[in-house]
Amino acid sequence: MSGGLPGLDRVVIRDVGPRDGLQPEAPVSVEDRIRLIEALVVAGLTRIEVAAFVSPKAVPAMAGAADVVAGLTRAEGVTYTALVPNLRGAELALAAEVDELTVTISASATYNRRNVKMSIDESVDAIGSITTLAGPAAVPVDAVISCCFGSPYEGEISPTDVVDLARRLEQVGVTSLTYADTTGMATPRLVVDLIDLLPGGVGWMDTGLHLHDTRGTGLVNAYAALQHGVARFDTAVGGLGGSPFAHGAGGNLATEGLVALLDDLSVPTGVDLTLLLDATDLLATLVDRPLPSPLAHHGPRTRIAGRGQE
């Protein structure tokens, strides 16, 4: 295929903007977070990380998680996901009847300790207790492994160690695995190296990538992954995001950037770029800083006489 992609039937995009995107920002009200989520649904997103059931003291921007979930008008065919840091969070998220849980663990021991105050072993055990809780409710648990392509603390992270951790997470019952480039240290080479090591390839544990654009490499890393068959990505509307625990981390790969790339390659995502940019416009009114996403400023290449061309 022109552009170098294999025959991908469809790419699934999970928009983590209402959670990962807004988490480091000044708090946005429950009502406005609901408006943003519903704008994403209108744009065609079918999997959205809508909340984090974390301590509002630790992460003020995520306060009111249960209220966000309760306030949503659930659309058919949409998976509403919540991040849970521990068993208590999982109980609350399941009580709120979310459709999917995300749990995080780091391939970097130091990052893991700073982020969740546990060793990697303790985090694996904690995730096991969450999958045990979620199993009877038939709620899938996606484990997001942070710092898969490098750590601001240890530097290089061995892809073999990442895959070893992934196998342990499979054993404790997670449903799928998402490999995160938390601080924007991935490169096309490292992405391909990791994919090549996955037992059974990208089909194993429904491989997803969660990319950050700290060093301007989010899209090229996604492209390399797409060329190797990865068909599931975490992105954030407007390109917001970045962990407060990783100095120098920039935003998530912008949803609109990935959608524009895939539209141009004729790979379906179900997302309407024009409607997505409406959601981006809404987001720009909710946060008190310019959005990092270049498309939010310049508009898509197909919009000749419109946005950014005035």
Range list of H helices, 22-158:
30-43, 65-71, 87-95, 109-116, 120-137
Minimum Å gap between C-beta 161 and a second copy is 17
Q: How far is CA 81 from CA 14, 140, 191, 294, in A?
A: 9, 10, 25, 27
Q: How far apart are CA 195 and CA 230, in angstroms?
A: 8
By the rule CB under 8 A, 254 interacts with a second copy:
yes
Q: Considering CB under 8 A, how many residues would be counted as binding a second copy?
A: 51
Task: Please choose, out of 41-49, 104-112, 162-170, 295-303, the segment that lies near a second copy by the rule CB under 8 A.
Answer: 295-303
Please report, as a single letter, which amino acid is at residue 256: E
Judged by CB under 8 A, the residue of 13, 190, 237, 276 near a second copy is 190
By the rule CB under 8 A, 293 interacts with a second copy:
yes
Judged by CB under 8 A, the residue of 2, 138, 288, 289 near a second copy is 2
Who contacts 260 (Cβ-Cβ below 8 Å, separation ≥6)?
A: 273, 295, 300, 301
How many Cα atoms within 13 Å fall on the side-chain side of residue 296?
20
Judged by CB under 8 A, the residue of 49, 100, 213, 234 near a second copy is 213
Judged by CB under 8 A, the residue of 70, 158, 247, 285 near a second copy is 247
Instruction: Report 114-133 residues binding a second copy (CB under 8 A).
Output: none
Judged by CB under 8 A, the residue of 26, 135, 189, 268 near a second copy is 189
By the rule CB under 8 A, 219 interacts with a second copy:
yes
Judged by CB under 8 A, the residue of 17, 64, 85, 300 near a second copy is 300
Coil, helix or strand at residue 277: helix
**Residue 140 per-residue DSSP state:** -
Spatial CA neighbour of 260 closest among 221, 300, 291, 304 = 300
Q: How far apart are CA 128 and CA 248, in angstroms?
A: 31
By the rule CB under 8 A, 76 interacts with a second copy:
no
List residues near a second copy by CB under 8 A.
2-4, 150-155, 184-185, 187-190, 192-193, 196, 213-217, 219-220, 222-224, 227, 247-248, 250, 254, 257, 260-261, 264-265, 293-295, 297-302, 304, 308-310
